[in-house]
Structure 1
Amino acid sequence: MKTPSSSRPAAGATEPAIPPVPEGEAESSLLFATHSPRPPTVPDGSAFLEDLHLGHIIDAVLAGRAQYDLRGSFLAPLGDEDAVAYRHEVFRDLEEPGLRRGVESFAASMRSVRSALEQAGKLHYRRQRQAWSLDAAVLYTDAVLALARTLEAGPRSRALTGFSARLADYAGSAGFAALREEGRSVREGLGRVRYLLQIKGPTVTVRAYAGEEDYNARVRDTFARFEQPEDAEHVEQRSSSVDMDHVEAQVLDMVAGLFPDEFANLDAFTATYERFIAPLLAQFDRDAQFYLAWLEHTEALARDGLPFCYPDVGRESKEVHVQDAFDLALAHGARGADPPRAIVLNPIDLDDGERIMVVAGPNQGGKTTYARAFGQLHFLGALGLTVPARRAQLFLPDAVYTHFERGESHTDTVGKLHEELLDVRATLAAATGDSVIVLNEIFTSTSLEDAVYLGSRVIERIDALGALCVCVTFVEELADASEATVSISTRADPDDPTARTFEFVRRRPDGLAHAVALARRHRLDYETLRGRLTR
């Protein structure tokens, strides 16, 4: 009977998805405390996800984990500080190497269990399906007990402490003991089956083994000298299918006739335990991947020298203090780049009474990247994740809104301005005093006078709301639009004022941002002119 030796999927096979957990069967999970309200999910494809490159970040984090269906968990920011702390506790538990290895080992075993069950569902012959299911059940019980032993060390998080207690109850239950003992008994019984296969011409005879000499070793020794290397061109390519053919199936039926008790036990076991994965374990298996996926992604970047931290997230204060922040999507894209791309780390600071950062500076100087980092930090912090910074004190927003220039438009400037005004109006209508707003290059299609007027009204409205905002603009006058504004600009290189440092500091704008933007719009900037003159 072709059965799995390790129950692992064939190379290139698509691993099956985790079975859904019945509604209400899990009182709490690794992601949410007992009876904690589940936050709404942000619609995938929302504009702010694209603007802040959060969709790219989530894609990178979840690469290779489609079977866990975790995307929704990365699109549901939390609404209170305790929910964030609940997840931070789990991350800190997983910093302990032994516990981390135990959880990862359990996940690997469960992938093998699901793969074996999926393979069983594809097989044609009943007894072969039963053998795969039996092996999956035995592997499952081994994995459960190994996880229980791992958690005996005593995790500290509320999530893992609660789960450990429920797991101990489950592993010590009569139902689980019956599953484990019966599964092992049935497999051991089948392992003792010995039979004699006699082939004479077209006739195949199967009878009970009675101590006859085993010719297998003698046949192998006789023909060993004729073996060909595996890479020989003329070696027969065998089928990779695990399904039995009709001859093997008939032989198996005859063997079952010789050992009715053993195969009757197999029938009874698979009928009784058709579905043996407990919802508690299925939920844990999925939820653990939320943490493991993030750890795997961020640890790879940390090895490159980029910092991550547990942010201090709350709603009592709107002060924001971040040391060495960076754009996570940019950092991921820079990995493996040739030539290597250095990631510049920047501070972000808003003191008491300051809520709006006005960021100015030359084009291609990193302003948009700086603004994205601000938005990313608040969204990722609200998910209960570690964030890309060395230290971070963040506000817990009710939502993140963005307005980004969509690049060149083939419409006339009046039409583009009208569209932009409608978009900004919709953002301001939806935002609250607990929102985070990221504005990038607003009102570039109009005159400086109009851009100052419109931009000032927008800043005043955001100030009245009490929302946090970062505004990237060429309109340097917006730095004085409100008492809540802070002027941020790129640091100039004292040896080469034209060089981009991508470093941001608190300072007044130098008055050249609009001139540079205007020159670039009319293709009269330094880079464009130099390109024309050197052709």
Structure 2
Amino acid sequence: MKVRLLFPDRDADLTAALPDGTDDLIADLDLGPVLEMMRPDRDLAELCPVVLFHPLTDADEIVRRQQILADALAEPDLVQTLFDLAGRALQSQRGLWMYGGRTADSLLVKARHGIEAFLPPLRELAGFAAARLVGVRSAGLSELGHRLVDTLDAGYLDDLTVLVRQLQFPDGVRTRVRVQPTGLLGRPELLPPRAVSWWTHRFGRPGRVRFELPDRDEAGAQALDALRNDALYELALTVDRAHERLLAFFTQLRGEAGFYVGCLQLYRRLADAGVGVCWPEVAASGEPWDVEGLSSLNIAVREGARPVPNDLVPQPSGSQLVVLTGANQGGKTTFLRSLGSAQLLAQAGMFVPAVRYRSGPAPGLHSHFRSAEQDAPGAGKLAEELDRMSRIVDRCRAGDLVLMNESFSSTDELQGTFIAADIIDALLAHGVRVVLVTHFHRLAVHYLDRPGVTFLRAERLDDGTRSHRLLPGAPQPTSHALDIFQQAMSSSTSNETSERRL
């Protein structure tokens, strides 16, 4: 049976390795609290990262996930029940270790007990699918429901129950051995069990030959076990494969349903913070962003408060490059993180914390943020930035999105501008989209009259207050760092005055 809640034509690889640079992306976008919030269970820490950091690029697949998630938001118990039921089914297998062994007999016993433990969850799943899944609106959940109803019908489950009983061999193991032309015995052939009547069970079959091993006949017991294992070998492998398929199905069901459970948890967190969401629209590759009321995902999750929303109005010439400038501590990095997080959510088939979000898909998302270590003076900082950027460039493909936050600020403005401009120009020439936060005025004005560039500037009120809104505007030669210095000095003076009064 196939689950196919994440892809229309296949089950998702829930153990796939994360792409290179994922750890940097998580740290740069401050996605740690978000991923922790989305974790459906303590043993599924890697589930949501695997889905988020392997973004979809096909619009139909994105819409299909959105429809499944819409059904889950309307009836949260749909995916929660699937997740819990699969979890209970897997929990029923925890005691199978006691049947472990290297013989065909022990393998058969282990597989039979495993299938027997799966029978109640299978019946429950079939009933739930018939009652709740086949009538939902989304194609993904409806198709899963129909597959479960068609496969797990009452006749199939009854036959499976009978088969499990027969595999206990209450009348013993019946085999047939053919004599080869050489006079040697061939491989034992397992025969189906006979129907046992009450009379036969009570008095035995007429003419049946019996023998008993003498006490302490270890060689005879070993020979008899070897014959039994030879006879059960093929059957044990077949039953074990059937058990493994059921185990894989419930594991897959728990994982794929667990992703939507994680989405529900994130949705509730955003709702508690007063942040609304929308279903993002997938634009054609190369179309400009159209963003209204985008809120910071990490702030909403971490602080539980509604952040200041921002817009990114589409430009007639497109927006292959977005340049964010303006006052220090004005919200530029926050907005950069918001865009990156929203792009990941959109391409995972999820909702976005915005009023409207429209963007073309990006096959890959990369980030190059100034780290805290790079703020400290010392040699080698520029080399570290260049090394990290080199790895990003090696991974980039046409259509990818690169987020740059104060890149190459470990050197002076002249050198940093030359380095950054050369790299950005090369990325743009190869069809890579770039969002840039910079305090290098020389770098910002380098793109001032170029088509396909959108400029946003962090707003600073007349009294120096930061509104944390980014508005369309050309770069200015100052980032108003003096405001922060004066505010710090004012705070320090106020603290000293208070200490003197005390």
Give the TM-score, by structure 1 length. Answer: 0.66
Which of residues 387, 393, 406 in structure 1 aligns to 2:371?
406
Cα distance in 2 between the residues matched to 1:44 and 1:425: 12
CA apart distance, 1:36: 8.7
Cα distance in 2 between the residues matched to 1:424 and 1:67: 31
One-letter amino acid of the structure 1 residue matched with residue 468 of structure 2: F
CA apart distance, 1:461: 2.7
Alignment partner of 2:468: what SS?
coil
CA apart distance, 1:423: 3.1
Cα offsets for 1:115-137 (capped at 9, x unmatched): 3432575799xxxx99x979954
Residues 1:387 and 1:508: Cα distance change in structure 2 (over 3 Å): same
CA contact (8 A) 1:325 1:388 kept: yes
Cα distance in 2 between the residues matched to 1:40 and 1:314: 28
CA contact (8 A) 2:17 2:50 kept: no
One-letter amino acid of the structure 1 residue matched with residue 328 of structure 2: N
One-letter amino acid of the structure 1 residue matched with residue 143 of structure 2: G
Which of residues 454, 464, 467 in structure 2 aligns to 1:498?
464
Residues 1:475 and 1:155: Cα distance change in structure 2 (over 3 Å): same
CA contact (8 A) 1:68 1:286 kept: no
Residues 1:123 and 1:466: Cα distance change in structure 2 (over 3 Å): closer
> Which residue in 1 is equivalent to 2:308?
344
> Which residue in 2 is equivalent to 1:487?
455
One-letter amino acid of the structure 1 residue matched with residue 61 of structure 2: A
> Which residue in 2 is equivalent to 1:80?
58
* 1:457 and 2:417 aligned: no
One-letter amino acid of the structure 2 residue matched with residue 30 of structure 1: L
CA apart distance, 1:75: 2.8
CA apart distance, 1:138: 5.4
> Which residue in 2 is equivalent to 1:158?
139
One-letter amino acid of the structure 1 residue matched with residue 262 of structure 2: A
Cα distance in 2 between the residues matched to 1:410 and 1:346: 28
CA apart distance, 1:359: 1.0
> Which residue in 1 is equivalent to 2:254?
285
> Which residue in 2 is equivalent to 1:215?
none
> Which residue in 2 is equivalent to 1:223?
none
Residues 1:86 and 1:441: Cα distance change in structure 2 (over 3 Å): same
Residues 1:486 and 1:316: Cα distance change in structure 2 (over 3 Å): closer
Residues 1:45 and 1:433: Cα distance change in structure 2 (over 3 Å): closer
Instruction: Give me the identity figure in percent.
Output: 21
- 1:103-122 equivalent positions in 2, closer than 5 A: 103-119=79-95
Cα distance in 2 between the residues matched to 1:381 and 1:370: 16
Cα offsets for 1:32-69 (capped at 9, x unmatched): 11159979742485322221123442232115352586
Which of residues 123, 127, 130 in structure 2 aligns to 1:146?
127
Cα distance in 2 between the residues matched to 1:44 and 1:355: 22
CA contact (8 A) 1:434 1:468 kept: yes
Cα distance in 1 between the residues matched to 2:471 and 2:36: 32
Residues 1:437 and 1:45: Cα distance change in structure 2 (over 3 Å): closer
> Which residue in 2 is equivalent to 1:311?
280
One-letter amino acid of the structure 2 residue matched with residue 289 of structure 1: G
* 1:378 and 2:343 aligned: yes
Cα offsets for 1:183-228 (capped at 9, x unmatched): 99xxxxxxxxxxxxxxxxxxxxxxxxxxxxxxxxxxxxxxxxxxxx
Residues 1:480 and 1:85: Cα distance change in structure 2 (over 3 Å): same
CA apart distance, 1:485: 2.2
Q: Which runs of 5+ in 1 are unaligned?
A: 1-24, 185-270, 336-340
Cα distance in 2 between the residues matched to 1:41 and 1:478: 33
CA contact (8 A) 2:322 2:436 kept: yes
Cα distance in 1 between the residues matched to 2:245 and 2:429: 57
Cα offsets for 1:485-532 (capped at 9, x unmatched): 2221122335xx32121111111234321x62xx69xxx922343355
Which of residues 136, 140, 159 in structure 2 aligns to 1:178?
159
CA apart distance, 1:474: 0.8
* 1:300 and 2:279 aligned: no
Cα distance in 2 between the residues matched to 1:486 and 1:134: 60
CA contact (8 A) 2:4 2:11 kept: no
> Which residue in 1 is equivalent to 2:333?
368
CA contact (8 A) 1:359 1:473 kept: yes
Cα distance in 1 between the residues matched to 2:116 and 2:11: 37
Cα distance in 2 between the residues matched to 1:311 and 1:420: 33
CA contact (8 A) 1:109 1:139 kept: no
Cα offsets for 1:51-106 (capped at 9, x unmatched): 11234422321153525862423332123222212211211232342xx4244234
> Which residue in 2 is equivalent to 1:46?
23
The alignment yields a C-alpha RMSD, in angstroms, of 3.8
Report the count of equivalent residues: 409
> Which residue in 1 is equivalent to 2:489?
529
Give the TM-score, by structure 2 length. Answer: 0.70
Alignment partner of 1:66: what SS?
coil
> Which residue in 2 is equivalent to 1:333?
302
One-letter amino acid of the structure 2 residue matched with residue 170 of structure 1: T
Alignment partner of 2:282: what SS?
strand
Cα distance in 1 between the residues matched to 2:143 and 2:164: 28
Alignment partner of 2:358: what SS?
strand
Q: Which has the higher contact order (CA 8 A, sep 6+)?
A: 2
* 1:32 and 2:7 aligned: yes
CA contact (8 A) 1:459 1:478 kept: no
Cα offsets for 1:216-273 (capped at 9, x unmatched): xxxxxxxxxxxxxxxxxxxxxxxxxxxxxxxxxxxxxxxxxxxxxxxxxxxxxxx999
Residues 1:67 and 1:402: Cα distance change in structure 2 (over 3 Å): closer
Cα distance in 2 between the residues matched to 1:418 and 1:134: 58
Q: Which runs of 5+ in 2 are unaligned?
A: 101-109, 166-238, 497-502
Alignment partner of 1:322: what SS?
strand
CA contact (8 A) 1:357 1:486 kept: yes
